[in-house]
């Protein structure tokens, strides 16, 4: 009935007394002793309840048997002020058809909006999300490193010389506010290993996206090594060439395998001719997410949230250089020491260890 529940008093109680004097078993025991063993009601009341309560349990036991001794709802049997069922059905129907809130429905139906909200809440239609079928989550993972790399950009406000509002307070920061501008963090995350990298640039234009692509990808296998003696590692080695760094390794020549992909959103930097030409020169297939579906680029989106929460917004920085250094130190730590839930508590580098890739980052000490 359009999600409307039945108007009945026979529901199971949603809130049960957390400290009852007698549970269902003790109530049944008191009733049996009074009925069969001849105990007086006053004597039975010594169990910790009044004689009126004992009479109540005896009456329920005589009517419904042991089932009558269970906890009941405190809702009244009759509720004459409850909204009529036909009005409740109409409220639910208009809610589903028009998808408007209690204020609009109150003007349409001539019913108080508090009443409409109560009906919608009982029918679990008080949120518009209940009217939309939830999409089934499709989780995937490409089989080898470098098969798919997620790219995205996050904007960070520049930090003034005397610090931002996180250091000096919002009222003072508003008085000394200047046009500081923004820095743009270009992020790349490998789909298989979740190995990320990030670089801060001055804008988010197509040329900067290409520069970030070359800089980020060129860093991955700068010190990497793979065992080329094992003949069974041929496909692994091909996949390793696709890792970030593979563009520079192959000298921007076209790759024969068209399965190498980068995935981005529909930002202007990734829709530019410069980025398109760079991907074409490297033989990389560029795919973009569907409009209003950011979760399809979820690897990069999730890493951006992590780097905001655990690095960029965690400490108070007095300059852009301090924040850039913190991000530069955070990424190697994330790859080599921080456990990753999607990898079963392992690190992204541990995924590359299966492919004989070691020393992706230089010793920072």
Q: Along the 365 residues of the chain, how does pLDDT read in single tens digits?
A: 444 444 444 445 555 666 677 778 888 888 888 888 777 777 777 777 788 888 888 898 888 888 888 887 777 888 888 889 999 999 999 999 998 999 999 999 999 999 999 999 999 898 887 777 777 778 888 888 878 889 999 999 998 876 666 555 655 555 555 557 899 999 999 898 899 989 999 999 999 999 988 876 665 434 333 333 334 444 444 444 444 444 333 333 333 344 578 999 999 999 999 999 988 887 788 999 998 888 899 999 999 999 999 999 988 888 899 999 999 999 999 999 999 988 888 999 888 887 655 545 544 44
What's the topology of domain 148-353? Nucleotidyltransferase; domain 5 (3.30.420)
Q: In angstroms, how far is the first alpha carbon of the chain from the final one?
A: 67
What pLDDT sits at residue 364?
43
* pTM for the whole structure: 0.60
pLDDT recorded at residue 18: 66
pLDDT at residue 250, rounded to an integer: 35
Give the integer Cα–Cα distance in Å for 260 and 192.
13
What pLDDT shows up at residue 166?
Answer: 59
Enumerate residues 6+ apart whose C-beta is below 8 A from 353. none
Q: Using CA atoms of 71, 77, 81, 86 in order, give the dihedral in degrees to the nearest 10.
A: 100
Task: Return d(Cα 56, Cα 62) in angstroms, integer.
Answer: 10
- At residue 316, the 3 state secondary structure works out as coil
Output the pLDDT for position 224.
37
Q: CB neighbours of 19 closer than 8 A, spacing ≥ 6?
A: none
Domain extent listing, the chain: 24-69, 148-353
What does the pLDDT read at residue 179? 59
Structural contact between residues 307 and 329, judged by C-beta atoms closer than 8 angstroms? no
Residue-level pLDDT at 153: 96
Pull the structure tokens for residue 252: 């921007």
Polymer length in residues for the chain: 365
The answer to whether residues 92 and 119 touch, using CB atoms and an 8 Å cutoff, is: yes
What pLDDT does 357 receive? 56
Q: Would you state the pLDDT for residue 176? A: 54
Confidence at residue 129, expressed as pLDDT on a 0 to 100 scale:
79
Q: What is the pLDDT at residue 289?
A: 94
Contacts of 249 (CB under 8 A, 6+ apart): 221, 241
């Amino acid at each position: 009935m359009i999600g409307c529940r039945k108007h009945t008093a026979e529901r199971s109680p949603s809130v049960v007394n957390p400290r009852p004097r007698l549970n269902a078993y003790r109530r049944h025991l008191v009733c049996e002793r009074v009925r069969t063993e001849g105990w007086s009601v006053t004597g039975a009341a010594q169990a910790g309840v009044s004689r009126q309560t004992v009479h109540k349990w005896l009456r329920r036991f005589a009517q419904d048997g042991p089932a009558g001794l269970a906890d009941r709802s405190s809702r009244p049997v009759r509720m004459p002020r409850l909204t009529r069922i036909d009005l409740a059905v109409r409220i639910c129907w208009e809610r589903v058809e028009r998808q408007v809130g209690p204020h609009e429905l109150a003007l349409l139906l001539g019913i108080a909006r508090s009443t409409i909200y109560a009906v919608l809440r009982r029918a679990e239609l008080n949120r518009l999300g209940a009217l939309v079928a939830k999409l089934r989550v499709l989780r995937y993972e490409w089989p080898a490193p470098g098969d798919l790399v997620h790219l995205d950009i996050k904007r960070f406000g520049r930090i003034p010389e005397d610090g931002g509002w996180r250091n000096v307070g919002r009222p003072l920061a508003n008085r000394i506010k200047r046009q500081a501008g923004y820095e743009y963090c270009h992020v790349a995350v490998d789909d298989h290993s979740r190995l990320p990298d990030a670089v801060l640039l001055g804008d988010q234009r197509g040329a900067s996206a290409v520069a970030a692509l070359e800089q980020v990808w060129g860093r991955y296998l700068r010190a990497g090594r793979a065992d080329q003696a094992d003949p069974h590692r041929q496909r692994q080695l091909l996949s390793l060439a696709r890792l970030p760094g593979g563009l520079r390794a192959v000298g921007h020549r076209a790759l024969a395998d068209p399965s190498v992909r980068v995935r981005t959103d529909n930002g202007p930097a990734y829709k530019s001719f410069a980025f398109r030409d760079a991907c074409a020169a490297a033989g990389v297939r560029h795919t973009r997410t569907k409009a209003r579906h950011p979760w399809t680029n979820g690897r990069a989106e999730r890493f951006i949230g992590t780097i905001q929460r655990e690095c960029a917004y965690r400490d108070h920085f007095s300059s852009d250089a301090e924040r850039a250094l913190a991000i530069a130190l955070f990424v190697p730590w994330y790859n080599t020491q921080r456990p990753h839930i999607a990898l079963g508590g392992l690190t992204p580098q541990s995924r590359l260890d299966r492919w004989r890739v070691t020393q992706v980052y230089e010793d920072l000490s």
